[in-house]
Amino acid sequence: MERSREIIVIGGGHAGCEAALAAATLGVNTLLITTDITKLGVMSCNPSIGGIGKGQIVREIDALGGFTGQCTDQTTLQFRMLNRSKGAAMHSPRAQCDRDLFSLNWRAKLEATPNLSIIQDTIEELLLDTHHGKVQCVGVRSKLRGELPAQRVILTAGTFLNGLIHVGMYHTPGGRIDESAVPRLTDQLVAHGIRSARFKTGTSPRIDLRTINLDVCRIQAGDEEGGCFSYSTTSPTPLPQRPCYITETNPRTHEILRSNLDRSPLFQHIIQGRGPRYCPSVEDKIHIFADKPSHPIFLEPENSEGNTIYINGFSTSLPYDVQEAGLHSIQGLEEAHIIRPGYAIEYDYFDPLQLEHTLASKVIPQLYIAGQLNGTTGYEEAAAQGLLAGINAAHALMGKAPIILRRSEAYIGVMIDDLVTKGVDEPYRMFTSRAEHRLSLRQDNADERLYSLAQAIGLRSATALESTREKYEKVTLFSTHLSQSSLTPESINAYLTAQNSTPLPQAIKAHKLLLRPEVKLDALLSHLPTLIPNDFTLSSEIIHSTETRIKYASYIEKEEQESEQTLKIDTIHIPDTLDYSTIESISIEGRQKLRQHRPKTLGEAKHIPGIKPSDLKAILIAMRSFVPRETKE
C-alpha cells in the first residue's frame, strides 16, 4: 500500500488538471491519476478554447487562479473576440490553439507544482468505508498499485466510464480513440445510490492540410490586434499565427449522407445516449434542417507547424467510406486525405442533482465529482468545475469555508447552480442567455468581480492581485474625473459632427456624453487629450473598463431590479391553454421543454433544465396579452 494522500484526483482532462493544480497549490498533498500521462489537458475534440459564454468562463477561471487561460495564451494560433458588433456584455474571446503544445504546457505546469504527484494507472473502484452507519470514500483501488488511501477523492473521468466508440457499425469500448474505457466504476457507485445515465458526444475527422484546395475556401483570419485570456499575460503569443478557412456542404453532400443513414449508428438507434443540442452531428443537421441547402464547414489548424486540420461542423459517426465520400463532395476538399475519421462516443454521467454546490456528493461523503461526468460538454465547463472541486476539497481538509459562487457573481456560479438545482436531460453547454446577470458578468471584468474571492482563496499571486487592485482603483478615479469634467459645445461639436452625433446646445459632463452609443472614449480622448488627468497613465484596458462601466451603469441597475422581481414570481400560475409554440421570443429549446413539461407555475418552469431567465420573461409578457381559449370562441 502506497502512503496516504490527502486528495486523489482521478482523470487528467481539463477538470482533473485544474482540480489537482488548485488543491496542490493550496498546500494539500495531492495525487493525480491518469490513464496516459502524455494526454494531460488534451483537446479531445476541436483545438480551441472559449466562445460565447465559454470565453467568459475561462476569464473567470483565470481570475480565481486557474491555469487554463494562461495555457491558452501560451499556445494561441489565432485569437478572435466574438460578437464585436454587439455590446460589451456579449463580447466573448475565442482562441485556436496548438493542441500538442497545450497538453505539453499543462504537463510542465503540473510537474513543476509542489505537493503534486502524477501516476499513470487505471482506477478500478473507489475505496468505501462505513463510518457511523454511512458509507464514505477513503481512497481508490488502481489496476497496478492496488489500494491508494486518501481523505478526499475528486472523480473527473470524462467520457471514460463505460465509454463506447462508434464508427458506422464498428463499435469498441474506449474513453477516447485507442484509449481503454473504465468498465466497473459506474456499477459500484450506482450500487451505493448514485444515479447514472448515458450521454453521447462526437468529434470530426482530421484531414491533411496539403490535400486541401485552399484557393477556393474563404479565409477566416484572427483579430489583427490579437488578444489574450489571462489577466497576467503581458506579451503576445510566441507562436506564428495561422488562419482558419471556411467552406460549406452542398446538396450533393447531403444526398451522400442521407442515402447512408441506414449505416448510421445514430439513426439505427444503436446509440442510445442523447447528444449535445448545440453541437449536433452533420447527419443530425441534414435531418433537422432538411430545408437548408448547405451548412458551414470550418477548417481549423491543430498545431503551429504541422498539417493536421480539424473539420469543425462535420462531427459524425458514419462509416469511414461515407465520411470520405461526403468530404470529397465539398468544395476544396475533393482530394482531402483523412488522417483520422470522426466518431461518436457514448459514456456514463451522474445526476448532478445529487451534488452540493461545492460539487461534493450528497450520497457518498468525501467524494467530489466534476467535469463531463456531471452532464456538461466542453473543456471550459469541465475546467471550471475541476477548479471549484479542487478548491473545495482542499478547503474541507484545511478547515476553511467552502467556495460557492452565486449566480450574480460568475458564469461558473450560474452553471453549477443550474446543474445541482435543475439537473440535466441533455449535455449542458454554457450560453450568455442562461445568466440573468449577464450585463455585469462580462469577460472584461471577471478580475474585478472575483477579486475578493480570489484573495480569500489564495491561488492568484500577490502581484496579480495588487495589479488588479491598482487597475480598478484607476478606473474608479478616472470615472469620477469624467463625471466632474464639463465639455462645451465649442470643444466637442466638431467631433460629434464627425461621428454623425447630434451637436451639443450647451455644456455637458463627459460621462453623460459617453452614454451615446456612437461616442467612444478612446476617440474622445484623442480629440480632447485635456480630459486625461495630470500625471495619470491610461492603458487601453483602463480606458475600455472605464467606458464600459459608464455605459452599462443604468442597464445593470435595471437588470438588478428585474432580477429582484423575478424572485417574487415563482407562485404565478401559468394558464393550461397557453400555447408556447406561438411565443417566438422563447428559445426553440425552451418551447420544446415547456410543451413537454407543462409547468403549472413560473417557479416550476424555472426549474426545468434548459429554461433560461429570458424564457421566463417571455412567458410573463405573453400572459399579459393571453386570452383564454373559451373567451376567444
Closest CA to 344 of 207, 200, 205: 200
Asked if residues 263 and 321 have their Cβ atoms less than 8 Å apart, the reply is no
How many Å apart are CA 175 and CA 177, to the nearest integer? 7
Asked if residues 596 and 426 have their Cβ atoms less than 8 Å apart, the reply is no
Q: Which tens digits make up the pLDDT trace of 221-271? A: 999 888 999 999 988 778 999 999 999 999 999 999 999 999 999 999 999
How many Å apart are CA 600 and CA 592, to the nearest integer? 16
Split at pLDDT 50, 70, 90, the class of 382 is very high
State residue 633's pLDDT score: 35
Split at pLDDT 50, 70, 90, the class of 293 is very high
Asked if residues 26 and 391 have their Cβ atoms less than 8 Å apart, the reply is yes
Closest CA to 383 of 72, 165, 133, 163: 72
Q: Tell me, letter by letter, the H, E, C secondary structure of 170-202.
A: EEEECCECCECCECCHHHHHHHCCCCEEEEEEE
State residue 1's pLDDT score: 45
Mean pLDDT of 2-28: 94
Split at pLDDT 50, 70, 90, the class of 632 is very low
Q: Which tens digits make up the pLDDT trace of 421-456? A: 999 999 999 999 898 899 999 999 999 999 999 999
Cα-Cα end-to-end distance for the chain: 77
Q: Which tens digits make up the pLDDT trace of 76-127? A: 999 999 999 888 889 999 999 999 999 999 999 999 999 999 999 999 999 9
State residue 568's pLDDT score: 67
Task: Provide the 3-class DSSP secondary structure of residue 601.
Answer: strand
How many Å apart are CA 238 and CA 73, to the nearest integer? 9
Q: Which tens digits make up the pLDDT trace of 186-197? A: 999 999 999 999
Radius of gyration of the chain, Cα coordinates, nearest whole angstrom: 26
* HSE value, Cβ hemisphere, 13 Å, CA-based, for 287: 13
Split at pLDDT 50, 70, 90, the class of 47 is very high
State residue 565's pLDDT score: 67
β partners of residue 196: 350
pLDDT surpasses 60 at 199 = yes
- C-alpha of 475 from chain center: 28
Single pTM value for the model:
0.91
Q: How many CB atoms are located within 10 Å of the residue 520 CB?
A: 16
| Alpha-carbon torsion angle 401, 402, 404, 405, nearest 10 | 70
pLDDT surpasses 90 at 535 = no
Task: Provide the 3-class DSSP secondary structure of residue 603.
Answer: helix
Cβ neighbours of residue 582 closer than 8 Å, sequence gap 6 or more: 622
How many Å apart are CA 385 and CA 380, to the nearest integer? 9
Asked if residues 98 and 304 have their Cβ atoms less than 8 Å apart, the reply is yes
Split at pLDDT 50, 70, 90, the class of 2 is low
State the DSSP string of 275-287. PPTTS--HHHHHH
Asked if residues 14 and 22 have their Cβ atoms less than 8 Å apart, the reply is no
Q: For residue 139, give the amino acid letter.
A: G
Mean pLDDT of 148-154: 97
Please name the helix (run of DSSP H) or strand (run of DSSP E) that holds residue 198, with its range, or none: strand 196-203
Mean pLDDT of 493-514: 92
Helix pair 588-597, 613-624: axis angle to 10 deg: 70
**575, three cell numbers:** 394558464
- C-alpha of 70 from chain center: 16
For cell 448547405, what's the residue? 294
Q: Which tens digits make up the pLDDT trace of 572-598? A: 888 888 888 888 888 888 888 898 888
Across the chain, mean pLDDT equals 92
Q: For residue 134, give the amino acid letter.
A: K
Q: CA-CA distances (angstroms) from residue 576 to 392, 594, 598, 600?
A: 43, 11, 7, 7
Q: Tell me which DSSP letter residue 47 carries.
A: S
Asked if residues 408 and 456 have their Cβ atoms less than 8 Å apart, the reply is no
